[in-house]
Chain A
Amino acid sequence: DAKTTQPNSMESNEEEPVHLPCNHSTISGTDYIHWYRQLPSQGPEYVIHGLTSNVNNRMASLAIAEDRKSSTLILHRATLRDAAVYYCILKSGYSTLTFGKGTMLLVSP
């Protein structure tokens, strides 16, 4: 499985934008980049995914580098509720999700 590298933790202030990086230098042409997050004491929840172009939804934006070797999850205005572990996962076809340790995002009021 292609692997991803994420910082162990990041900090942000409430109402500020947050940029969560993910490196995936061995990504293949068929790998989609998926992001899930896990709030405390809950199961993971889907955030966003993309292949080549930048993607936006109501939760976040996903910026994908032109060479696809890195991507950034953007939370436009962090809230206390966004404090969670964020997982960047590469997934191809019907392969399963392989979670790493993710990035723990701490949000201060």
Chain B
Amino acid sequence: EAGVAQSPRYKIIEKRQSVAFWCNPISGHATLYWYQQILGQGPKLLIQFQNNGVVDDSQLPKDRFSAERLKGVDSTLKIQPAKLEDSAVYLCASSPWATDTQYFGPGTRLTVL
């Protein structure tokens, strides 16, 4: 079974530029999550989708971050404009409907200069 795919794996941009990350969850998984992990800390949930609807986006900085999950499959997370403090690893995870276990992708490491 293929795991959660993310791209790109690494991205370097300058502050005020825009960036987008892509995630393809495990086939059939209804729930998709985006996390932000700053160096030395645990992952922090940014947004949770159930199929193509948003379940929880309470910690998403909506003035600069946006996410969508069209057709309830893959998802994109966008930052516009980026700030220095957005430097982090962005992790995507998915889980089957009504289960507790989350399966994580390898993450995208973003560096904002």
Q: How far is the CB of A58 from chain B (nearest CB, A)?
A: 14
Q: A42-B106, A43-B105 are in contact. Are A32 and B100 (CB under 8 A)?
A: yes
Find out whether the CB atom of A43 lies under 8 angstroms from the CB atom of B100.
no
- The reply to whether the CB of B102 lies closer than 8 angstroms to some CB of chain A is yes
- Report yes or no: B56 in contact with A96, Cβ–Cβ below 8 A: yes
> Interface digits, A86-102 against B, CB 8 Å rule (1 contact, 0 not)?
01000100001111111
**Nearest chain-B residue to A41 (Cβ)?**
B106
- Indicate whether A44 sits within 8 Å of B104 (C-beta atoms), given known contacts A96-B45, A99-B42: yes
Interface of A is mostly: loop
- A interface, size bucket: 10 to 19
Residues of chain B within 8 A (CB-CB) of A45 are 103-104
Q: With an 8 A cutoff between CB atoms, is A24 at the interface?
A: no
Chain A nearest CB: distance from B89 CB in Å?
8
CA distance A66 to B71 in the complex (A): 46
Provide the residues of chain A in CB contact with B32, threshold 8 Å. none
CB-based contact B43/A34 at 8 Å: no
B residues with CB within 8 A of A: 4, 33, 40-45, 48, 56, 91, 93, 100-107
A residues near B (Cβ < 8 Å) are: 32, 34, 41-46, 49, 85, 87, 91, 96-102
